[in-house]
Amino acid sequence: MKRYAIILLAVTMPLLVNSQASAQQDETKKFEVGAQFSMLGIADEFDEGFGTRAEPGVGGRFTFNLTEKLSLEAETNFFPRNDRATAFRSGGRAVESFFGVKFGKRFQKFGVFAKARPGLISFSQGLTVLTPTGTTTGSFPIFNLRFERLTHFAFDLGGVVEFYPSRRIFFRLDAGDTVIRYGQTTMNDFTLSSSGSLVSTPISVPGDTRHNFQLSTGVGFRF
């Protein structure tokens, strides 16, 4: 009887060890870092024949996998092009940052997920400020021009597809709607009085919500 027990143990032990090693290999790594190229289509607020402008950018992402299906993510993208064309509240260079969740299903070679991430987007030349100098050219007053940064609430809602060529390296494709909430903005308008002096009148522009398609592709590393 003792002899049979030893034989059984000798046969089953390698199977148990291999099974444990395989299970460990299948465990999802807890941490991921990645870099991506992103294209954000910013819809012009007033859309007076200008439509949407495409802003290319680069960024990075950190992911903490709570489970195989649920993850926490933080991502930042920078759009370096200094574009003022037709832009109101969205001019200049843009920086966006999001933090939220990713939920889905992983298969052997790929994964499919949905993402929901609130955050902020900031434009370096979001607002144009005119200040009269008190001098004129002919009958036209001269103004000093400066730009102010504007930061808006944003929400990234979309889908993710990941491809797994190895256990540690993956490729990722994101597509979604970057919703930007433009807050109420106050700006000054100037009119010429009957005495020839400039009169400043504050104008309040109401808030607005815009939907902007964003596509990103990149590579990541698990550890």
Q: Is 217 in contact with 173 (CB distance < 8 Å)?
A: yes
Q: Which residues contact residue 207 at a Cβ distance below 8 angstroms, ignoring those fewer than 6 apart?
A: 181, 182, 183, 184
Single-letter amino acid, residue 15: L
Tokens of 79: 């759009």
- Structural domain boundaries of the chain? 24-124+148-178+211-222
Tokens of 188: 């000054």
| Locus of tokens 């919500």 | 209
Q: What is the pTM of this model?
A: 0.79
User: Rounded CA gap, 78 and 58, in Å?
Assistant: 6
Under DSSP, the state recorded for 194 is T
Query: Each residue's pLDDT tens digit in the chain (223 positions)?
Result: 455 444 444 544 554 444 443 444 457 899 999 999 999 999 876 655 556 889 999 999 999 999 999 999 999 999 999 876 557 889 899 999 999 999 999 999 999 999 999 999 999 988 878 777 777 777 777 777 788 899 999 999 999 999 999 999 999 999 999 999 999 988 777 777 766 667 777 888 899 999 999 999 999 999 9
Three-state DSSP at 28 gives coil
**Nearest C-alpha neighbor of 174 from the set 185, 158, 188:** 158
For residue 12, give the H/E element and its range.
Answer: helix 2-26
Fold of 24-124+148-178+211-222: Porin (2.40.160)
**Nearest C-alpha neighbor of 73 from the set 112, 107, 130, 32:** 32
Could you tell me where the DSSP H helices lie in 27-145?
A: none
Q: Is 21 in contact with 32 (CB distance < 8 Å)?
A: no
C-alpha distance across the termini of the chain, in Å: 47
